């Protein structure tokens, strides 16, 4: 999440909170967090955001805490469950619970701050609105999966400020043309990162491919 914070800090240093995220297809996890730092999010009917629940070593932090709580509850009611839970809990190191708790708090705090100072800055009840949005997109018990796709309509119903690509067909065509060109380039060339400004100056990072004889 430190990288995500750095990106948002850099963007806000340059443009303040006058930012609009464009999601032609999918922005999950950290992508959703960055989008929430903008004044609005431009999405189409085919676009999706995703939950912001943090992952620890590839595992959902909320899921790890839920597993520990379930183990504690079952063992406290029936100690014969200890042999069942022991090998499951043994795979986690002793500090993992604290790491999960801190990661969840950190993710919620920074996104809430971005919402209050950006997207919801003009709202009188911005604190309550931000808290509710965080609950809706950050609660693993509600979203159930880190990979769940959240549609534009769903996001708008939760108070996230969404603009629809379908409302401007000319803009939609331009955005999707750039998006498809990027996807084609990323899938057919060694390029894996592309950044271009409004002056046509581009930075393209390529993977080094080495072919070694057997």
Residue 33's domain comprises: 2-56+105-167
How many domains are there within the chain? 2
Q: Cα dihedral angle (103, 104, 106, 108), rounded to 10 degrees?
A: 160
Are 159 and 177 within one domain?
no
Are 125 and 157 within one domain?
yes
17 close to 126: Cβ distance less than 8 angstroms = no
The per-residue pLDDT string of the chain (214 residues; one tens digit each, 9 = 90 and over) reads: 678 889 899 889 988 878 999 999 999 999 999 999 999 999 999 999 999 988 888 888 988 999 999 999 999 999 999 999 999 888 888 889 999 999 999 999 999 999 999 999 999 999 999 999 999 998 777 777 878 899 999 999 999 999 999 999 999 999 999 999 999 999 999 998 888 888 889 899 998 877 777 6
Are 137 and 185 within one domain?
no
Q: Is 134 domain-assigned?
A: yes
Please state the pTM of the whole predicted model: 0.83
Q: Is 207 domain-assigned?
A: yes
């Amino acid at each position: 999440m430190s990288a995500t914070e750095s990106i948002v800090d850099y963007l806000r240093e340059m443009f303040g909170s006058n930012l609009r995220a464009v999601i032609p297809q999918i922005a999950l996890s950290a992508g959703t967090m960055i989008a929430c730092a903008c004044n609005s999010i431009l999405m189409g009917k085919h676009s999706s955001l995703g939950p912001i629940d943090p992952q620890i070593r590839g595992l959902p932090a909320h899921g790890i805490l839920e597993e520990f709580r379930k183990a504690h509850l079952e063992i406290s009611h029936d100690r014969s469950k200890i042999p069942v839970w022991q090998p499951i809990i043994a795979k986690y190191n002793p500090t993992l619970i604290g790491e999960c708790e801190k990661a969840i708090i950190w993710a919620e705090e920074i996104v809430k701050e971005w919402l209050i100072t950006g997207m919801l800055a003009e709202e009188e009840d911005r604190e309550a609105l931000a808290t509710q949005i965080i609950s809706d997109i950050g609660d693993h018990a509600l979203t159930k999966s880190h990979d769940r796709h959240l549609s534009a309509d769903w996001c708008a119903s939760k108070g996230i400020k969404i603009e629809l690509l379908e409302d401007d067909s000319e803009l939609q065509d331009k955005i999707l043309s750039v998006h498809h060109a990027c996807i084609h380039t990323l899938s057919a060339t060694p390029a894996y990162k592309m950044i271009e400004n409004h002056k046509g100056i581009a930075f393209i990072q390529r993977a080094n491919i080495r072919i070694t004889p057997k």
